[in-house]
Structure 1
Amino acid sequence: MTATTQGFAAIQQRDLVNQIADSLTEALLRGDFAPGVHLAEAQLARDFGVSRAPVREAARLLESRGMLVSQPRRGFFVRTFSAEELEDVFDLRLCLERHAIGLLAGQFSEYKESALTRQLDTMRQVAEHGTAAEQIEADVAFHRMLCEFSGNRRLLKVFDELCHEMRFCILLIGQLYDDPRRVADSHQPVLDALRTGDDAACEAAIDYHIGIAQQRVVEMFREREGI
């Protein structure tokens, strides 16, 4: 095999891994796998009609995205949180983004408005035609922009550290909506508030945006826990 054909083989393998990861993300978004469930590598390999290697790589990819966790000699499991832990994640996220949008409101430029508008357009496009994984990443990217554009690099660093938990929360939010376009559209009031330049309006918009998600996701988990 030449160096060129070896490269082609690597590309094909990587494409297969991504396809399996996307399919698993779609299944997680539909709620096919409950939190805490063990994903049997051998069974998934049979279901996909592939060897176990690409399934294992796809699972590692989803682990890096915060959707699965691995346990030594036991394999991969769907990530789970208690309702209380989810409350903590949402509370921290709200503190970060409330501060970020307050800082951003005072320095909102045409460039930042244009970038956020393009990202919202991207979210709507992937809601129509993209995979569940792409929808989650586009959502995270919008909120990361809010933190990045605030100018507080420490805040952005903490946000990035929270991203694993955030991706899982966004995955759960997606289970609450039949139409992913509605998730994308829910970001429009945040951008509209920024355009006003009013600190109170911006804080109210982000409080509502994250607060509604927090309330519904935590309520869903409390029902699962029988609380």
Structure 2
Amino acid sequence: MAKSPQTTSFQPLDREGLVQRVATLLSKAIVTGQLAPGARLSESVVARELGVSRAPVREAARLLENSGLVTYRANRGFFVRETSTQALNDLYELRMVIETAAAQRVLKHGLTETIDRLSAQIDVLHEVAAQGADMLTQVEADMEFHRLLCAGSGNPKFLHVFEQIAAETEFSIMVIGRLYDNPHKIAETHEPIVNAMRRGDEAATCDALRYHIGVAQKLVTRQFRDLTESSSGN
């Protein structure tokens, strides 16, 4: 009598999940500088190192192209994006638009649970600073505040756009190496936003957000310009 096939508890690998995992690994490598701006993203090398086929690597690269981390050159493949001062200005300008709109929606619909989450994330930012965490951890905690704002607005389109530019924002900060000398400053710059939201003051909230993002915009673009000029002068 033939034995029935042995079964296991293994679940089939989800292709979409695999692609996302590869994209996350590549994104971290780009943001942290393991893959430098202008470097070619070799599908065969990445596939071999990760132990996967080239197909999910190619799909992951397409995702990174959508998020602004890589560019595709015909007949040459994918390359880590080389940014510019103008591109960084455009990026922060877009963030101002979607994040102020998200904040306005939070206030309009009285989404106090979102404000509570934002306040809690400021505590996380202070904890990260107190622990002396590395720059990437600080940047990720910073971006989580803004992600929570967009996610908590009740409009999924805001979050969708934010997710497309979040990695590019992280990349821009990691390229210059820092924002503030005092890591607690990162946490403190978010406090006027939440304070204004607590009061239900829409105008003050939008002003605080524009100021917060605008200061980051000036710091990032100035430091990037200085870094670029220093590199070209060598």
Please give the range of the TM-score, normalised by the shorter of the 2 chains: 0.5 to 0.7
Matched, 1:213 2:220: no
Deviates further, 163-172 or 81-90? 163-172
Do 1:65 and 1:164's aligned partners in 2 also have CA atoms closer than 8 Å? yes
What does residue 204 of structure 2 align with? Answer: 201
1:113 alignment partner, one of 112, 115, 134 = 115
Query: Residues 58 and 116 of structure 1: is their aligned pair in 2 closer, same or farther, counting only changes over 3 Å?
Result: same
Do 1:83 and 1:222's aligned partners in 2 also have CA atoms closer than 8 Å? yes
Secondary structure, aligned partner of 2:28: helix
Do 1:17 and 1:55's aligned partners in 2 also have CA atoms closer than 8 Å? no
Query: Residues 106 and 126 of structure 1: is their aligned pair in 2 closer, same or farther, counting only changes over 3 Å?
Result: same
How many pairs were matched up?
A: 217
CA distance in structure 1 between the partners assigned to 2:107 and 2:218 by the alignment: 26
What letter corresponds to residue 81 of structure 2 in structure 1?
Answer: R
Query: Residues 125 and 141 of structure 1: is their aligned pair in 2 closer, same or farther, counting only changes over 3 Å?
Result: farther
CA distance in structure 2 between the partners assigned to 1:106 and 1:12 by the alignment: 40
What does residue 168 of structure 1 align with? Answer: 168
Query: Residues 67 and 223 of structure 1: is their aligned pair in 2 closer, same or farther, counting only changes over 3 Å?
Result: same
Query: Residues 110 and 186 of structure 1: is their aligned pair in 2 closer, same or farther, counting only changes over 3 Å?
Result: same
Deviates further, 211-220 or 194-203? 194-203
Secondary structure, aligned partner of 2:211: helix
CA distance in structure 1 between the partners assigned to 2:81 and 2:146 by the alignment: 18
Secondary structure, aligned partner of 2:11: helix
Matched, 1:66 2:72: no
Query: Residues 58 and 135 of structure 1: is their aligned pair in 2 closer, same or farther, counting only changes over 3 Å?
Result: farther
**Rg bigger for which structure?**
2
Do 1:140 and 1:167's aligned partners in 2 also have CA atoms closer than 8 Å? no
What does residue 11 of structure 2 align with? Answer: 8
* 1:168 shift after superposition: 0.6
Structure with bigger helix share is: 1
* 1:78 shift after superposition: 1.6
* 1:169 shift after superposition: 1.7
* 1:38 shift after superposition: 1.7
In structure 2, list runs of 5 or more residues that go unmatched. Answer: none
What letter corresponds to residue 206 of structure 1 in structure 2?
Answer: L
- Scaled by the length of structure 1, the TM-score of the pair is 0.66
* Fraction of identical pairs, as percent: 31
* 1:16 shift after superposition: 7.9
Secondary structure, aligned partner of 1:176: coil
Please give the root-mean-square deviation of Cα atoms over the aligned residues, in Å. Answer: 4.4
